[in-house]
């Protein structure tokens, strides 16, 4: 391979370090983690749980939408908590304080709750939003970490999140305050989830593209092969005449049926190898599928969960790569394969 043109030369990896940087030791990093842990412990040890309970109960009793708002890093946390509630089947939305003053406040109604996240409680954008939101009849809650602040004094409820200090050496960068905001919000979200008796099926319905959702939503009939995709044969068929069917359908097996499509057994790649070992000479050309097929294969119904099919494939005494799908009368209606389950994201 020739050298790259000068304009395409890749930069060499940097060597050494800029002169103004210090080497980061393992001890320094460990001490930072320990300090953050201590700051978080301070939060847990000093949180007023009566406030936390009142806050959670208010959200639980809300008849409308639970709106969250904040600016900067607190805004990111507020948005994330809102998204968590939505994923738990709770009506919620993030309200940008800037956009709210330019029309978005129209989304608010007297049935709603507006939760305002601010470390200092003096965020100018939130203070400008307050009178406008109050005019809409919204119930206002502030979540702050500085005592006796303007935002808390102007809201219907305040939750104080105890903050010892920021991990930042200047006590400025909001890294501990946002951490406790996130811990508080996510914990309340799970409390609401439990109080609303959210089921796995309801949770999965809101996560259809994720593995969790697929494992709780997808049934065997949703991912199985059927009709022309099935590698079927009769028990009287000669094995050597069915090799094309065995190979072309990509299932690693033949499904042996009678004239009414009742499943009689399966013939796999492994059965073919064992047949070749046992048979000799011209005898192999006379063997029929029914002579060598498995008459008691594992099967599954179309309404079983797809994840149950995977568990059944992997169960003792030895794993299998497929399951014939049959109805209550043992009629073959499909086949589900391990490859198909993996391709579906399960």
DSSP secondary structure letters along 120-166: SS--HHHHHHHHHHHHTT-EEEEEESSSS-HHHHHSSEEEE------
Q: Is the pTM of this model over 0.85?
A: no
Could you tell me which residues come within 8 angstroms of residue 236 by beta carbon, excluding any fewer than 6 positions away? Answer: 288, 289, 290
Instruction: Write out pLDDT tens, residues 17-69.
Output: 666 787 889 999 999 999 999 999 999 999 999 999 999 999 999 999 999 99
pLDDT at 1 over 50: no
| Chain-centroid distance, C-alpha 286 | 53
CA count, 13 A, side-chain hemisphere, 218:
26
d(CA 7, CA 190): 54
Q: Which residue has the higher pLDDT, 177 or 211?
A: 177
**Is residue 11 helix, strand or coil?**
coil
d(CA 252, CA 321): 8
Residue 271 is predicted with a pLDDT of 85
Work out the average pLDDT over 101-116. Answer: 96
**Angle at the Cα of 174 (from 171 to 180), degrees rounded to 5?**
110
Could you tell me which residues come within 8 angstroms of residue 172 by beta carbon, excluding any fewer than 6 positions away? Answer: 166
Say yes or no: domain 220-344 is CATH 3.10.580.10: yes
Query: 150 to each of 46, 142, 155, 296, how far by Cα in Å?
Result: 22, 10, 9, 75
pLDDT at 343 over 90: no
Q: Which among 215, 218, 225, 216 is positioned nearest to 325, based on CA atoms?
A: 225
Burial of 206 (0-12, 13-18, 19+ CB in 10 A): middle
83: number of Cβ within 10 Å = 15
Q: Name the residue ranges covered by the structural domains of the chain.
A: 33-198, 220-344
Say yes or no: domain 33-198 is CATH 3.40.50.10490: yes
């Amino acid at each position: 391979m020739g050298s790259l043109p000068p304009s395409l030369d890749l930069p060499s990896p940097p060597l050494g370090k800029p002169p103004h940087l210090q080497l980061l030791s393992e001890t320094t990093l460990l001490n930072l983690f320990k300090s953050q842990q201590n700051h978080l412990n301070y939060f847990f040890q000093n949180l007023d749980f009566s406030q936390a309970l009142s806050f959670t109960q208010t959200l639980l009793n809300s008849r409308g939408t639970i709106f969250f708002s904040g600016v900067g890093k607190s805004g990111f946390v507020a948005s994330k908590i809102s998204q968590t509630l939505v994923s738990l089947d709770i009506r919620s939305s993030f309200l940008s304080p800037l956009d709210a003053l330019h029309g978005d406040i129209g989304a608010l109604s007297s049935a709603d709750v507006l939760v305002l996240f601010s470390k200092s409680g003096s965020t100018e954008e939130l203070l400008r939003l307050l009178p406008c939101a109050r005019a809409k009849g919204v119930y206002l809650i502030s979540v702050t970490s500085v005592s006796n602040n303007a935002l808390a004094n102007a809201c219907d409820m305040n939750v104080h999140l105890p903050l010892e200090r920021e991990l930042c050496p200047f006590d400025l960068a909001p890294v501990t305050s946002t951490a406790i905001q996130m811990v508080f919000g996510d914990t309340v979200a799970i409390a609401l989830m439990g109080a609303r008796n959210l089921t796995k099926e309801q949770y999965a319905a809101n996560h259809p593209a994720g593995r969790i959702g697929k494992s709780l939503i997808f049934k065997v009939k949703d991912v199985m092969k059927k009709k022309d995709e099935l590698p079927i044969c009769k028990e009287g068929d000669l094995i050597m005449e069915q090799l094309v069917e065995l190979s072309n359908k990509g299932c690693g097996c033949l499904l042996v049926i009678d004239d009414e499509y009742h499943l009689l057994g399966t013939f796999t790649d492994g059965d073919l190898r064992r047949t070749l070992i046992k048979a000799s000479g011209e005898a192999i050309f006379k063997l029929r599928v029914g002579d060598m097929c498995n008459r008691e294969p594992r099967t599954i119904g179309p309404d079983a969960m797809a994840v149950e099919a995977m568990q059944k494939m992997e169960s003792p005494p030895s794993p299998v790569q497929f399951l014939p799908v049959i109805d209550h009368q043992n009629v073959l209606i499909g086949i589900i394969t391990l490859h198909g389950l993996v391709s579906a994201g399960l």
